[in-house]
Amino acid sequence: MTTHETPDQAGQHPTHVPAQEQPWPGRTDDMTPVPDHGEESWTGLGRLTGKRALVTGGDSGIGRAVAIAFAREGADVALAFLPEEMADADEVRTFIEETGRRCLLLPTDQRTEEANQRLVELTVEGLGGLDVVVSNAGFQMGTKGGIENFSTPQLEQVFATNFYATFWLVKAAVPHLAPGASIAITTSIQAFQPSEVLLDYAATKAALNNLMVNLASDLGPRGIRVNAVAPGPIWTPLIPSTFDEDKVDGFGSDTPLGRPGQPVEVAPAFVFLASDEASYVSGTVLGVTGGRAVF
């Protein structure tokens, strides 16, 4: 799907993640190993030339890889991220602007409808329109001990960040989307194989899969495609900043491929869904899970 050599084919992807912790929301440069977002490997084919994309959670992890890939495929990109993640976002802007594409940095806490409306307005104003929406921002917090230990503030933050923000973002974006536009939502293997310590997070991801199917039906007559990408265990700052270090040790080793995925390995799914190659693909979930089933 891309011209870059897939790193695992060359034996370059780390197979073991050592124990480590960070304060939430985490920093890319403080991770061991540092994730691969395609900074050195992605070579574009012009598959998104002329498109204008908004990527939430675009400062790090999957969103960072998607933003870099989109730019190298010819798209201008607006990045949404929390204000405290500006340092990571600045690094992404550098990679995007090196391609000659435009980059907007839009620090936004998406946990209100008004914030999402403003985010879309700034994107349309800055890029001159909107063709691709990637709702990728997410929050989780590993919680031990069963439902009694899931606090209401945490539940509200997880649902507001993952589900409500996606709903509000799409609602705000739709009036600006023309036939041929694409919406892609990051869900998770957790929607299909939930972990007890991520009870609330897994519930939001299942809800997003359901929302995606309904949106595909609702927006299909307007020529707008809606899909989801369900990653498995991907090595991003969310992992060391939301799990105890003993849970991070060996992260992803229980997949059939025996290792965690890298953000660059998820980006091709989003590029495909945003491209005209996926012109008849809507209402589906693409799993990037290291071998775990998404059904």
Express each pLDDT in 169-221 by its tens digit.
999 999 999 999 999 999 999 999 999 999 999 999 999 999 999 999 999 99
Torsion over CA: 217, 219, 222, 225 (sign): negative
Is 201 known to be catalytic? yes
Give the domain range for residue 215.
23-288
**Could you report the per-residue pLDDT of 19-61, keeping only the tens digit for each?**
999 998 888 989 999 999 999 999 999 999 999 999 999 999 9
pLDDT at 11: 56
16 belongs to a structural domain: no
277 belongs to a structural domain: yes
pLDDT beyond 70 at 115: yes
CA 99, distance to chain mean position in Å, is 21
Tokens in use for 198?
């991520």
**Tally of structural domains, the chain:** 1
4 belongs to a structural domain: no
Nearest 5°: the CA angle 65, 236, 196 is: 130
Q: For residue 295, what pLDDT band results from cuts at 50, 70 and 90?
A: confident
214 belongs to a structural domain: yes
Tokens in use for 6?
């897939």
* CATH code at position 137: 3.40.50.720
Arithmetic mean of pLDDT, 144-152: 94
pLDDT at 246: 86
Percent of the chain with pLDDT over 70: 96
148 belongs to a structural domain: yes
pLDDT beyond 60 at 267: yes
Catalytic residue among 159, 168, 201, 270: 201
pLDDT at 9: 47
42 contacts: CB under 8 Å, gap ≥ 6: 2, 4, 68, 69, 72, 264, 267
8 belongs to a structural domain: no
183 belongs to a structural domain: yes
Q: Which of 57, 126, 128, 70 is nearest to 99 (CA)?
A: 70
268 contacts: CB under 8 Å, gap ≥ 6: 1, 2, 69
pLDDT at 4: 40
pLDDT beyond 60 at 245: yes
Tokens in use for 21?
């912790």
How far is Cα 252 from Cα 250, in angstroms, rounded to an integer? 6
Arithmetic mean of pLDDT, 230-255: 92
pLDDT at 29: 85
11 contacts: CB under 8 Å, gap ≥ 6: none
17 belongs to a structural domain: no
**Could you report the per-residue pLDDT of 72-91, keeping only the tens digit for each?**
999 999 999 999 999 999 99
- Phi then psi dihedrals of residue 237, to 5 deg: -60, -20
CA 144, distance to chain mean position in Å, is 25
For 251, other C-beta atoms within 10 Å of its C-beta total 21
How far is Cα 108 from Cα 122, in angstroms, rounded to an integer? 11
pTM over 0.75? The answer is yes
Mean pLDDT over the full length of the chain: 94
Residue with tokens 């900074």: 39
> Residue 116 in contact with residue 173, Cβ under 8 Å?
no
pLDDT beyond 90 at 12: no
Q: For residue 285, what pLDDT band results from cuts at 50, 70 and 90?
A: very high
DSSP state of 283: S
Is the backbone peptide bond immediately before 83 cis, with ω within 30 degrees of 0? no
